[in-house]
């Protein structure tokens, strides 16, 4: 199996194991990502909580997510992306809920979503956003993108639609997704190139918020992407691996 096959299979296995069967009903944040971006004079960072990944394997040994997030927020992150996929990412809805109960910030349920059951779980755990991966729909791993977006909106969830190619990006702009993501990582090969964002934003003049994801390690990366037109940045691995999360987030925020 290629990486996409594995990611989809992992989600199907997690569904079968009732990973997304949630009895809780948590409230969402009272804050807004678009408002935070509009009012922010510095770099708007979405900081990602993940303990492992297909490319990095183990990132850090599982520790207190509340302490980790507290440092992220105090460092200036405007929101959080929290992995709920148990396989390859070592995440869970339970970790998401622990964080949701403690912090009133916009939160993205980061997962490989292939079924409405996962969207319903996102609603129950208090997510503000879910992430959908455009290539999974184009390659027919998942059916009917617009139906999944509409169902999310029906439940009050906003949608980040992740793209990697020029064609995916162009077609995503005509959907009802709330934010368009540009993943600098090719999910087929796991190779990262932040020039992907520059290429896809060439001649873009739309009004939708674009978030750049993956491969953001330092202030120079933030400045490069800002010059490309990016105003929202998702940063995961470089934050989670840093010994001083608060200082690293603060440095990224103050890159602008």
Q: What's the pTM? A: 0.95
- Neighbour-count burial of 25, counting CB atoms closer than 10 A to its CB (0-12 exposed, 13-18 middle, 19+ buried): exposed
- Cβ of 191: how many Cβ atoms within 10 Å? 12
Does residue 251 register a pLDDT over 70?
Answer: yes
Q: Which residue has the higher pLDDT, 157 or 190?
A: 157
Residue located via tokens 């990973």? 19
Q: Is 48 a catalytic residue?
A: yes
Does residue 174 register a pLDDT over 70?
Answer: yes
Q: Is 47 a catalytic residue?
A: no
Interval 62-67 mean pLDDT: 84
pLDDT band, very low/low/confident/very high, at 54 (cuts 50, 70, 90): confident
Q: Which residue has the higher pLDDT, 25 or 59?
A: 25
Q: Is 162 a catalytic residue?
A: yes
**Catalytic one of 168, 172, 214, 250:** 214
Q: Is 166 a catalytic residue?
A: no
Look over the chain and give the mean of its residue pLDDT values, rounded to a whole number: 95
Go through the domains of the chain in sequence order and give each one's CATH number.
3-253 (3.20.20.70)
Q: Which residue has the higher pLDDT, 101 or 207?
A: 101
Query: What is the model's pLDDT at position 231?
Result: 97
Query: What is the model's pLDDT at position 57?
Result: 64
Pseudo-torsion of CA 54, 191, 188, 84, nearest 10°? 30
Interval 121-143 mean pLDDT: 97
**Catalytic one of 50, 134, 158, 250:** 50
Query: What is the model's pLDDT at position 201?
Result: 96
Query: Percent of the chain scored above 70 by pLDDT?
Result: 96
């Amino acid at each position: 199996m290629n990486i996409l096959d594995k990611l989809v299979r992992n989600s199907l296995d997690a569904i079968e194991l009732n990973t997304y069967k949630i009895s809780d009903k948590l409230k969402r944040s009272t804050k807004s990502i678009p408002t935070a971006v509009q009012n922010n004079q510095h770099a708007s960072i979405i900081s990602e909580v993940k303990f492992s990944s297909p490319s990095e394997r183990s990132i850090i040994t599982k520790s207190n997510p509340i302490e980790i997030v507290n440092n992220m927020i105090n460092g200036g992150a405007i929101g959080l992306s929290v992995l709920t996929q148990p396989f390859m990412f070592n995440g869970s809805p339970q970790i998401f809920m622990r964080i949701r109960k403690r912090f009133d910030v916009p939160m993205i349920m980061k997962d490989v979503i292939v079924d409405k059951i996962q969207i319903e779980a996102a609603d129950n755990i208090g997510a503000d956003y879910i992430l959908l991966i455009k290539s999974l729909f184009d390659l027919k791993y998942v059916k009917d993108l617009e139906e999944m977006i509409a169902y999310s909106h029906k439940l009050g969830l906003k949608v980040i639609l992740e793209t990697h190619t020029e064609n995916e990006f162009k077609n995503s702009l005509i959907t009802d997704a709330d934010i368009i993501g540009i993943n600098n990582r090719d999910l087929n090969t796991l190779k990262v190139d932040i020039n992907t964002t520059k290429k896809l934003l060439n001649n873009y003049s739309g009004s939708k918020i674009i978030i750049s994801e993956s491969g953001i390690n330092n202030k120079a990366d933030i400045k490069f992407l800002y010059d490309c037109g990016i105003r929202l940045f998702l940063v995961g691995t470089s934050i989670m691996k840093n010994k001083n999360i608060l200082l690293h987030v603060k440095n990224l925020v103050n890159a602008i």
